Structure 1
């Protein structure tokens, strides 16, 4: 059975992606702690917890070294720490770029031998903010533009690995609730994409026949 690693798999979109891949893949469930993975691990008993803080690079190196072959790598983990440029601190910029870009780049680098061995597929959960920037979203959008560039470069450098950037609009998740609260709005789930819908798009990209390379998928709320 092929192996898939999904980061940020403890809840929300990551958990939905893990559920979507589980019937046909052995899923490694990535998250910061084993405790946070308890529910999804119980739900998917054939999966394996992969708890590691992706910004703890020695720990990431140790965890990645145990993976010899990897068919699918879904980079879903990330943060959305919003604010205007005038109100954004150096620490905020560093946290955002560290979590959304540098951690992705380093874990991918460490997993390249396993991905090469399997002729694997890297799926980057990006955002509409990786295509256009909005006011109050500067650091987040900058990180997602950088993530898109990372994917484009990886695709050109690693000819035997498929790389897909998924650019969904706003998704009905706990993170989205925090964003709407930050914006001072009223949360209405029907205004957002369902996690299962985005997870299905990931599945469709992974299932694309080998003669095609799905490079970008853009999903907008109807």
Structure 2
């Protein structure tokens, strides 16, 4: 029986690439806010002989996440894998000029949603499932106040969960991807030579190989 992999943040970048790379070995439940991008992902997965369930949802919508997790339980009974790549990348700015709206969106997406999702998803993973988070250590770097602080808090939550489940499961991995040619990277480094960066599909395959998930 094909196992189910939940990917939050699957509509673009690394999440999109991971979803495509996992198929057809896994049935992918792809969560993202951009319907057109999810439909493109579905087309690519089908072309590889795989299958996906599209969930055009916002991870900051607690009710929607609760309904999604209940639906996973009712339909499949649980999850084999959760890959969390969803992130809000607010514009770079001096810390003294932090924008309250950008801060709130960064906090809700990068921290609050994860604090909600871990308790929701953990029972679905049971003791044998796996969760993977992706670190991007920008905390303390100049101009990265919104993103760096909230991403660091997200990783701290993941590390606590990892420490708590080391003997009991589920297994929690925290991976630091190499610099990739994604829209998030371009937003932070608009003048960077993208030819020097790793394409997201290549990094996705490398990550899955390293985690023995390919």
Where on the TM-score scale, by shorter chain, does this alignment land: which range?
0.7 to 0.9
Residue 136 of structure 2 aligns with which residue? 127
CA distance in 2, matches of 1:205, 1:50: 27
1:62 equivalent in structure 2: 67
Alignment correspondent of 1:142 = 149
What TM-score does the superposition give when structure 2 sets the normalisation length? 0.86
Partner secondary structure for residue 77 of structure 1: coil
Shift in CA distance, 134/193, structure 1 to aligned 2, threshold 3 Å: farther
Q: State the secondary structure of the residue aligned to 1:207.
A: coil
The one-character-per-residue Cα deviations of 1:34-88 (angstroms, maximum 9, x if unpaired) are 3331111111121111221111111111111111211110100111112110111
CA contact (8 A) 1:3 1:26 kept: yes
Match of 2:86 among 65, 77, 88: 77
1:49 counterpart (38, 50, 54): 54
Distance in 2 (alpha carbons) for counterparts of 1:34 and 1:90: 28
Give the secondary structure class of the aligned counterpart of 1:168. coil
Q: 1:154 aligns with which of 161, 183, 201?
A: 161
- What's the offset of the Cα at 1:33? 4.3
Give secondary structure in 2 for the equivalent of 1:27. Answer: strand
1:169 touches 1:193 (CA, 8 Å); kept in 2? yes
Sort the Cα spacing of 1:133 and 1:205 in 2 relative to 1 into closer, same or farther, 3 A: farther
Alignment length (residue pairs): 201
Secondary structure of 1:139 counterpart: helix
Check if 1:11 corresponds to 2:12: yes
- Structure 1, unaligned runs of 5 or more: 209-222
Which of 201, 204, 208 is the equivalent residue of 1:199? Answer: 204
How does 1:105-116 map onto structure 2 within 5 Å? 105-116=115-126
Q: Does the aligned pair in 2 maintain the 1:80–1:96 contact within 8 Å?
A: yes
CA offset at residue 169 of structure 1?
4.1
Q: For 2:172, what is the secondary structure of its paired residue? A: strand
| CA distance, structure 2, for counterparts of residue 15 and residue 95 of structure 1 | 22
CA RMSD across the alignment: 1.8
Aligned to 2:38: 37
- Give distance in 1, aligned partners of 2:105 and 2:137: 20
Q: Does 1:88 align with 2:98?
A: yes
